[in-house]
Amino acid sequence: MKEIKKFETESKELLNLMINSIYSNNEIFLRELISNASDAIDKYKYLSLTSKGKVPLLDHDIHIALDKKARTITISDNGIGMNKEDLMNNLGTIARSGSKDFMSKVKEAKEKGNIDIIGQFGVGFYSAFMVAKKIDVLTKTNAGPAYLFSSEGEDSYSIEEAEKDSVGTTITLYLKKSNDEINYDKYLEEYQIKDLVKRYSDYIRYPIKMLCTSYKPKLDKDGNEIKGETVEVMEEETLNSMVPLWKKNKADVTNEELNKFYKDKFMDYEDPAISLFVSVDGKITYNALLFIPSHIPYNLYSENYEKGLQLYSKGVFIKDKAPELLPDYLKFVKGLVDSPDLNLNISREILQHSPIMDKIQENVEKKVVDKLKEVLKEDKEKYSKFWKDFGEHIKYGIYSTYGGKKDLLQDILVFHSLNKNDEYITLKEYKENMAKGQKAIYFVSGENLDAIKLLPQIERYKKLGYDVLLLDQKIDEFCIMMMQNYDKTDFKSITDDATNEISKEEQETIDKVSADSKRLLDNLKESLKEEIDDVVISSKLVDSPLCLSTKDGLSLEMEKTLNEQPGNEEKVKAKKVLEINPEHDLFKAFVAIQDQDDLVKEYASVLLDEAMLLEGREIANKKEFVRKLNELMIKAFSK
């Protein structure tokens, strides 16, 4: 006898929202129904394994059938099935799957004009009403009669006893008619169903089968092929691959398989530089397959670039880009995560604040860094290529966290250095090779390596045999600034006026020269007070006549970088110090005229411009510099 029952108020409201308000992602209905079928098979298998032989073992699969004439899609499984009570609880009461929360999300999204949230919130069986005007569910458990559940998704449903030969559930969807807004007919096409299964349910562990059209050569009466003629046949195909690559034993997966998977999945034309299997089984369980591209993605620095890993739950596709799974500095990493601990009934907001997602991100981050350490140790050439492409991002990881990631990342940092030519050096290698008596890790920054190597300050460090890190990227100094030290050894810029490794005797000599030439230094300082904070006798120079240093940790390169930032209206200014080599003939020439205050002041700007040029910087007034230089040459030549 057929029983007619009313949906509960809350279920009715949700049905109305789904049927009338959510159009943008109605294709996920098939994912939801296949996932339910897979769960039903899981439950049957568990029951059969624990029933001591009372429930027979079966070969399980899921079938899809299309009927264009009747406009139906049928999804069948031989899983556990449902009895009458199950139907009422699971299908008659949508609230069982958290509909209150879901309804609030739908209403909120609708108010904001963004109703594309279905893909991030599993809605189970009732998602089918987005495409179906009526749904029949024929189901049978291992014990008891079969039942037919039927509903048109309005305010009621019916349940009655029915005939079914085997255990399991068959769901028949009667598709709505297409209209100007939505094309429902496409779901009756084989290619569309194949595409949806491949996209959302490819890794369901049971075969998903469907009768599909194929064409075979036509044969004559003797069984020979007739050239150029074919005949249409219907053959059953398995639409899904079932076993995900990331669930296989790593030893059973070839590099060719990995590379093909990466290129197909992430639409790249080159093999990945680095591949990484991750399998974690503990308080949180997940598998991941991660890739570092062999080149910079074309849109990595675009505003439209989306970071994130693909997200699966038990092999069922949830989301294409889950940014919650990657820290910003690893946004170039491609891959996916599959965790049985995540429920399909999960919203974007829940993902963003999920402790499970936070834990997975933390673990993924550590696995990637550990893999980079391994590559750095075993294949320096490969790591160097990676560093040229993505090294800035690693340094950004330290800078953007105000040094919070220092301990995690410091041993995968590499730099060019004075003694290493074109090779990279790690901070560990630098420290291990520090000269006897060296007190700090020295660095210097500039626009490019060639310009940096010509800086006059480097001369003294060459003479002492000290190595110097050569920082040629804008992020470098900011990263070093946040780190402060490595393994308890401080970083020091050789262009900072406070960086001064000299003997007591050298300092006494500098103090005496400074006192003897006080008038000269004061005149130079007064003449250059708009551009320079101090003029001093240098301890850094060997052959060069002068150089510029800075105070308080803000270098000329940092000054330039900060002032180039868009929207930075208030310009910063480094405190500059003009340092003069007391052993150079240029200084001795100025000492000779230090009593001629006007002459010293007249040519003070030439010293500053010369120092700027030696630093590879632009000078303020090129025309004035040339004029004064010409005057000096004319005077010299006329003698």
pLDDT digits (tens, 9 = 90+) for 535-551: 999 988 999 999 999 98
User: Taking 70 as the threshold, does the pLDDT of residue 349 lie above it?
Assistant: no
For range 24-50, the mean pLDDT? 87
Q: If you average pLDDT over residues 166-171, what whole number do you get?
A: 95
Residue 497: predicted pLDDT: 79
* 105 or 247, greater pLDDT: 247
How confident is the model at residue 394, as a pLDDT? 97
The pLDDT tens digits for 291-308 are 999 999 988 988 889 999
Residue 420: DSSP 8-state: S
* Reported confidence tier of residue 317, pLDDT bands at 50, 70, 90: confident
What is the structure's pLDDT at 466? 94
Asked if the model's pLDDT at residue 391 lies above 90, the reply is yes
Percent of the chain topping pLDDT 90: 50
Alpha-carbon 535 to chain mean position = 48
Average predicted confidence (pLDDT) for the chain = 87
577-596 residue pLDDT tens = 999 999 999 999 889 888 89
Looking at per-residue confidence, does 440 or 346 come out higher?
440
Which phi-psi region, left, alpha or beta, contains residue 528 (left: φ > 0; alpha: ψ -120 to 50)?
alpha
User: Would the pLDDT of 118 be above 50?
Assistant: no
Cα four-point dihedral sign 511, 513, 514, 516: positive
> For position 16, what pLDDT does the model report?
66
Average pLDDT over residues 132-140: 94
Please say if the pLDDT value at position 398 is more than 90: yes
- The predicted model gives 77-81 an average pLDDT of 94
d(CA 497, CA 515): 18
What is the model's pLDDT at position 276? 95
For residue 122, name the pLDDT band (cuts at 50, 70, 90).
very low
- Separation between Cα atoms, residue 95 and residue 37, nearest integer Å: 20
What pLDDT sits at residue 115?
Answer: 40
Instruction: List, in sequence order, the alpha helices (H) in 566-616.
Output: 585-592, 597-602, 604-614
Calculate mean pLDDT across residues 367-380.
97
Range among 128-132, 313-317, 377-381, 444-448 with highest mean pLDDT value: 377-381
pLDDT at 23: 40
User: Is a pLDDT exceeding 90 seen at residue 491?
Assistant: yes
- DSSP codes, 128-192: GGGTEEEEEEEEE-SSS-EEEEEE-SSSEEEEEEE--SSSEEEEEEEEPPP-SS---GGGGSHHH
Separation CA 506–CA 244 (nearest Å): 70
Dihedral of the CA atoms 528, 532, 534, 535 (nearest 10)? -60
In 3D space, the residue among 206, 266, 288 whose CA is nearest the CA of residue 241 turns out to be 206
Output the pLDDT for position 96: 44
Q: How confident is the model at residue 116 (pLDDT cuts 50, 70, 90)?
A: very low
DSSP code of residue 303: T
Rounded to an integer, what distance in angstroms lies between the CA atom of residue 231 and that of residue 215? Answer: 6
Segment 206-214 shows an average pLDDT of: 94
Q: Quick one: average pLDDT of 54-66?
A: 92
Q: Average pLDDT of 543-565?
A: 88
**Do 77 and 34 meet the contact criterion of CB atoms below 8 Å apart?**
no
pLDDT over 60 at 106, yes or no: no
